[in-house]
Amino acid sequence: MTLRFGYGTNGLTDLRLDDALGLLSDLGYDGLGLTLDHMHLDPLAPDLPRRTRSVGRRLEQLGLSVTVETGARYILDARRKHGPSLLDPDPDARAARVRLLLRAVQVAADLNAHAVHCFSGTLPPGTDADTGWQRLAAAMEPVVAAATEAGVPLAVEPEPGHLLSCLADFHRLRRALDDPDALGLTLDIGHCQCLEPEPPAACVTAAAPWLRHVQIEDMRRGVHEHLPFGTGEIDFPPVLAALAATGYQGLTVVELPRHSHAGPQLAEESLHFLRRAATAAAARAEAPAASPAPGSRTPAAPPPLLTSVPGQGGPQ
């Protein structure tokens, strides 16, 4: 297996960024998904270029690779989760989200990041889907242009509950923008288990030509809840085998944004789990009829309707 594992800083928000970087290096991670947020490289605070250079030096010192993520919940609006989005009815509000993504592209270029992650947002009440897609395509045009100029791939994530929620929606956006080279895909393995019609391993294979960033966690069919490994329904060795077979060179980043209270412990346990699953995947390749190894899960039954976990307020 040639996979490279990372951990998302949105699951380490109780740690200072420098402490989080040190932890991930000590545990043996290859890199991280860096969520730009007020506690970790705030993109709206003064002197962003200087602070970015400082982070870049630390990453280089520790030998960590990075993907820049833009899923901070309240970075633009302290009272509205993920607001405003690229679908907001107010053009000025949409422009604020575009400016954030443009800053993220610049940060990613300065950090030599693998990609910039983003997502569409939820369809606002009273907005029809066609209008939402028009707003999304128009908002993404300057971001795609900036990413093309900077040489940094964009990685759009299909997010349960969002306008762009599945692989088919990703391809709809690409067609609307005339298939730009800079526009790629963030594939969240848990989301594949949650709502895609095909199993996660098949989703990896189907997504391979556009794959720019991977997030990984356990999940149950039909329920959008990011779970620690071993507590959901995903059979991970086939997923990792499929990912390795694509030749994907980026990071596979553990995504546990609601578990920061146990972040250091889960970061350690997650890496052990993924390494065992990768070993099991290699063993399966040599002996396909072998019995399931650690990290395996029995495939889930057909899903119920997609739900969010009570009290979690919809998309993560």
Q: Give the CA diameter of the chain.
A: 58
- Per-residue model confidence (pLDDT) at position 315: 47
Q: Are 200 and 189 in contact (CB under 8 A)?
A: yes
pLDDT for 285: 74
- Give bridge partners of residue 128 from the DSSP assignment: none
pLDDT in tens, 257-305: 999 999 999 999 999 999 999 999 988 877 655 455 555 554 444 444 4
How far is 308 from 96, CA to CA, in rounded Å? 28
- Residue 1: the pLDDT is 63
User: How much is the pLDDT for 298?
Assistant: 46
Q: What pLDDT score was predicted for residue 22?
A: 98
Q: What pLDDT was estimated at residue 299?
A: 46
Spans of the chain, pLDDT less than 70 = 1, 287-316
pLDDT at 2: 86
Structure tokens, 73: 């919940």
